[in-house]
Amino acid sequence: MSEMKTPFRLLITGALGQTGTELVQRGREAGYDIAAFTREDLDISDSDAVARAIAATVPAAVINAAAYTAVDRAESEPEAARAINSLAPGFIARACHEAGIPMFHISTDYVFDGMGSIPYPEDAPISPQGVYGATKAAGEEAVRRATPHHIILRTSWVFSAHGQNFVKTMLRLAGERDELNVVDDQRGCPTGAGDIADALLTIARLALEAPRDQAFPWGTYHFSNRGETSWCGFARAIVEGSATRGGRKVEVRGIATADYPTPARRPAYSVLDCGKIQRTFSIHPRAWEDALAETLDPLTNPAHRTEGRSK
């Protein structure tokens, strides 16, 4: 991304999460003035604190990367999930609207029921299967109600070198066990948090640099990496990628969802159709395997950690 003329200030919530970390790092590299708020700095479920943070920072836009993302735990903590995923995005969007700035929000493929068999476009009917998906769907609605000047980016199966995610869990288990049993009948698309950050930063720049009198295509967009796989296919790629970088080669066996009961029901098929973001903003997602390779480098070779990203 080339340097922009005006260093727009972006307020980023959830700055220590997978996507938050990438937004802060890549945002600074792209020339934005980043005001990063971790959960400790700003609890997004506190509406007064949200308004105060925006008033004190005077950002050009807010990107909400904070969320309650524990899909299974949400089943037993619906109120906590609702406060963070449903109500808080509405507080942020309302404060943005009052400040006359746009809001960028992230949502999930888990708003869909997963009964489909072709990629879901943005206007496909939603029908979340669990508390997490339902609270995220309500958060989308709260944003739409509070301000027309929003981008809601639905994404899927997020991974990165930071925080908790499936890639790190599989690498840990591959170090401990000789065989991994992984669900093979849920299909979706793994997505690198850095790629989500790049997509959001690109749209933010287009929005902030757009002439005031020109209508901007605000709304809901799908963004994931390209391709699709099952959790088992994803696990195999992680283990193979790790093995080629010196890690243990362990067997990954496919199992059925029915053989791995979890508190939350998950969609069987949640591939997102990313045509709209490509047509509207010329954002062309790369293959999930390429994003995975970039993430495996620092995770499998500690020497990479001090070298920074190669991108």
Nearer to ligand NAP, 25 or 155 (CB): 155
Q: Of 35, 66, 203, 207, which one interacts with ligand NAP (CB under 6 A)? A: 66
Residue with tokens 């958060």: 139
Instruction: Decide: is 193 part of the binding site for ligand NAP (CB under 6 A).
Output: yes
- Backbone angles phi and psi of 181, in degrees to 5: -105, 120
284: which 2 tokens?
């062309």
Cα–Cα distance measured from residue 163 to residue 63, given in angstroms and rounded to the nearest whole number: 19
Nearer to ligand NAP, 35 or 44 (CB): 44
Is residue 238 within 8 A of residue 157, CB to CB? The reply is no
Nearer to ligand NAP, 84 or 161 (CB): 84
Select from 152-160, 213-221, 250-258, 288-296 the region that touches ligand NAP (CB under 6 A): 152-160
Is residue 137 within 8 A of residue 111, CB to CB? The reply is yes
189: which 2 tokens?
């698309």
Residue nearest to ligand NAP (CB): 17
CA-CA-CA-CA torsion sign (63, 65, 71, 75)? negative
DSSP assignment, residue 3?
P
Cα 308–Cα 289–Cα 285 angle in degrees, nearest 5? 85
Nearer to ligand NAP, 57 or 243 (CB): 57
Instruction: Decide: is 149 part of the binding site for ligand NAP (CB under 6 A).
Output: no
Q: Which of residues 153-182 bind ligand NAP (CB under 6 A)?
A: 155-158, 163
Nearest distance from residue 46's CB to ligand NAP, in Å? Answer: 8
Q: Which of residues 102-121 bind ligand NAP (CB under 6 A)?
A: 106, 108-109
DSSP assignment, residue 109?
G
Question: One symbol per residue from 215 to 254: x for binding ligand NAP (CB under 6 A), - otherwise; what is it?
Answer: ----------------------------------------
Q: Indicate if 132 belongs to the active site.
A: yes
How many CB atoms are located within 10 Å of the residue 109 CB?
A: 24
| Angle (deg, nearest 10), helices 288-300 and 231-244 | 50
Instruction: Decide: is 122 part of the binding site for ligand NAP (CB under 6 A).
Output: no
Closest CA to 132 of 108, 165, 160: 108
Count, residues near ligand NAP per rule CB under 6 A: 28
Instruction: Decide: is 86 part of the binding site for ligand NAP (CB under 6 A).
Output: no
Closest CA to 223 of 197, 203, 196: 196
Select from 13-21, 178-186, 199-207, 209-217 the region that touches ligand NAP (CB under 6 A): 13-21
What residues contact residue 183 under an 8 Å CB cut-off, 6+ apart? 230, 231, 232, 254, 255, 256, 257, 260
Residue with tokens 């997020």: 158
170: which 2 tokens?
């599989």
Instruction: Decide: is 87 part of the binding site for ligand NAP (CB under 6 A).
Output: no
| Catalytic one of 110, 120, 132, 221 | 132
Instruction: Decide: is 68 part of the binding site for ligand NAP (CB under 6 A).
Output: yes
Nearest distance from residue 267's CB to ligand NAP, in Å? Answer: 11
Select from 62-70, 120-128, 261-269, 283-291 the region that touches ligand NAP (CB under 6 A): 62-70
Cα–Cα distance measured from residue 87 to residue 90, given in angstroms and rounded to the nearest whole number: 5
Q: Of 50, 54, 65, 199, which one interacts with ligand NAP (CB under 6 A)? A: 65
Would you tell me which residues interact with ligand NAP (CB under 6 A)?
A: 13-14, 16-20, 39, 42-45, 65-69, 84, 106, 108-109, 136, 155-158, 163, 193
The residues assigned a catalytic role are 132
